[in-house]
Structure 1
Amino acid sequence: MEFYNNHRLLFWSALLFFLFLTLNIAILPAIQNQQVYKPLPGTKPLSKDAKAGKSLYVANGCIACHTQQVRSVDMDKDFGSRPNIPADYATNQRMDVWRNTANLLGSERTGPDLTNIGERQPSIDWQLVHLYQPRAVVAESVMPAYQWLFEEKDYIQKGDIEVKVPEKFLKNRFKKIVAKKEALQLVAYLLSLKQTKLPDGTTPPEFLYKQKEQKTTAAGGTNLPDGGELYSTNCVACHQANGEGLPGAFPPLKGSPVVLGEDLKLYVTIIMKGYNPRPEYAVMPNVGTAANFTPEMVAAIINHERSSWGNTGKPVTADEVKKIMDEIK
């Protein structure tokens, strides 16, 4: 046939067919997606430091061990308040003219998912210690230490951010560990990773294959969530599973005068609004406020801490905690 013998006709026909397919399969759907998937209201753009931190996140291969996708299965509930939706990634842009958009979804969880790490672990001090020596805060961690993001100094100078590293993890206990600009940028990116709340009236996707929620019974017969589980999710990274904290970094709860004391208002305020009274320890962020703790959750955590590691504190009820939370708002 003449068509198959004419190489020019074959070439231009194939080219036009290829361009037609490219337009209809790739370009037009991409344009439509950009029009349909808009950022959620209240989404905050990355700061200059957070953008630089994202580049460091990519350059250091963090995506090899960490995902940024909360799946719609109940086991992912620890990583976010809801499953991710396409709009969560609508603000992502090209890294530069040469590199495509970095969604950083990941495919392996050697380490935990980081979709909502800015809410789960909002402590700058914890993030810096974790980067310097992961095993200082998580004994079982297999994450490499990113110590080239820090420098040792004899004295702290104005503007330096000192990292509260436990003494046993220091190469020279007479030196001060100071975060470099790159470490602060990477932490800025990690702290920017927060799930945006859905607009009022929008029903979030459900978590599937739900596990039965455990309850404990507090004084007075009031049902509370599992305090041990809440502690493991929100507190154990700093105060450790044994309640002994990390010397020089995070204070112990075992035998703590705050935990065992009678000043319940101080105790609840620390959980909800954070604490920074002692220079020998890192600053505690507002964990309770950031994680939207309810009075029942706070009471469950307090009761767990007051009855663990040999502590024998008085149990509290959700009503007592609620009264204080209403007062300190």
Structure 2
Amino acid sequence: MEIFNNHKKLYLVASVLFVVLTLFVAILPALDNQSRIQPLPDAEPLSEAAMRGKKVFIANGCVACHSQQVRNVEMDRKWGSRPSMSADYAGNKRMDLWTNTATLMGTERTGPDLTDIGTRQPSIDWHLVHLFNPRIVVKESVMPAYPFLFQYKHNPSDTDVVVSVPEGFANSAKGQVIATEKALDLVAYLRELKQAKLPEATVAPEFLYPLKDKATTQSTQGESDTGIDGKNLYATNCASCHQMNGEGLAGAFPPLKNSPVVLDDNLQLFVDIIMNGYDARGEYGVMPAVGSNLNWTAKEVTAIVNYERNNWGNQAPLVSVEQVKEIMDYINEMKAKQ
């Protein structure tokens, strides 16, 4: 054939074929997806601060170690309430003319998935301490520290955000640790990473390969009738601040070991703190409403309460699901009247 003897015609045909295939295989399907797939009704766009924080996230290579996708397998259940879907990323647009990294799904998990980190860890104080030095809150962490996102001041102003860094992790001679605008923007981005709820009539896809259910689970040093592993629940949602040994971090997060709040007979206060958070004292960060943010049931709260009241040397009577449910109902009733 003449075409094989004429390099100009050969390259022209190959180029036309490449363009046509690209059009039908990549461009037209992508445009069709963009027209059909819309963000979920409850999905909220990122704030201006969070958009700036997203650029800080990219610039510092965070995307290399953290994914933002909950796969539909059981092991991913702890990262979100449901598997991720196309609608979760439909609202992501090109960040600017030169940057087309709107969707940061990631390819590996050297660090935990961040799809729903804003729900799992809404505390500003925790994020700032973690960015300054991850080893403060997670001793085994391999994440690099980002001290360049902070500065020292001897006399912080009223508008400065002072970070509660425990002794030994900062140079106190230089003054107090202050979060820069970049650090605050990055935290704003992380706190706004939340899985949007599906419409009421929509059924979430099931996680594949479910683990075998346990008839009873060791949630304290004795058997619990909640069927929920209190230790695992604590490790996933509480240990990052209060530590696995329950001793907390001096100057940052209060201890639960020998805590009068944990061991006191006033169970209502304890449950209220778990569900709605607590501003303990000036030297500690404000605890977010972990239970409410995660929609914990009475069984989950009971498992957490019994685990914390009977570990690290703590000894207190076990509480029942019925007791906790009654308290939660009362707390919700009081909140509704406010």
TM-score of the superposed pair, with normalisation by structure 2: 0.92
Displacement of 1:261 in angstroms is 0.5
Matched AA of 2:118 = G
For 1:1-329, what aligned pairs fall within 5 Å after superposition? 1=1, 3=3, 10=10, 12-172=12-172, 175-214=175-214, 215-216=216-217, 222-329=225-332
Displacement of 1:262 in angstroms is 1.2
3-state SS in 2 of match to 1:95: coil
Displacement of 1:99 in angstroms is 2.3
Displacement of 1:222 in angstroms is 3.8
RMSD value over aligned CA atoms? 2.0
Matched AA of 1:279 = G
Structure 1 residues 166-175 or 287-296, which shifts more?
A: 166-175
Matched AA of 1:294 = T
TM-score of the superposed pair, with normalisation by structure 1: 0.94
Matched AA of 1:129 = V
Call closer, same or farther: CA 1:125–1:32 in 2, change over 3 Å: same
Distance in 1 of aligned mates of 2:184 and 2:114: 17
Displacement of 1:10 in angstroms is 4.8
Say if 1:120 and 1:291, in contact at 8 Å, map to a contact too.
yes
Question: Structure 2 unaligned runs (5+)?
Answer: 333-338
Say if 1:268 and 1:298, in contact at 8 Å, map to a contact too.
yes
Residues 30-65 of structure 1, C-alpha deviation per residue, up to 9 Å, x if partnerless?
Answer: 110101211111100000010000011110000111
Displacement of 1:117 in angstroms is 0.6
Displacement of 1:195 in angstroms is 0.7
Structure 1 residues 12-21 or 156-165, which shifts more?
A: 12-21
Displacement of 1:272 in angstroms is 0.4
Question: Structure 1 unaligned runs (5+)?
Answer: none
Displacement of 1:290 in angstroms is 0.5
Count of equivalent residues: 329
Say if 2:39 and 2:88, in contact at 8 Å, map to a contact too.
yes
Displacement of 1:173 in angstroms is 5.8
Distance in 1 of aligned mates of 2:313 and 2:14: 77
Say if 1:217 and 1:223, in contact at 8 Å, map to a contact too.
no
Q: Identity over the aligned pairs, expressed in percent?
A: 56
Residues 172-217 of structure 1, C-alpha deviation per residue, up to 9 Å, x if partnerless?
Answer: 2672111000000000111111111111121211111221234338
Say if 1:152 and 1:178, in contact at 8 Å, map to a contact too.
yes
Say if 1:49 and 1:189, in contact at 8 Å, map to a contact too.
yes
Matched AA of 2:104 = L
3-state SS in 1 of match to 2:168: helix
Call closer, same or farther: CA 1:221–1:91 in 2, change over 3 Å: closer
Matched AA of 2:138 = V
Say if 1:92 and 1:101, in contact at 8 Å, map to a contact too.
no
Q: Which residue of 1 aligns with 2:335?
A: none
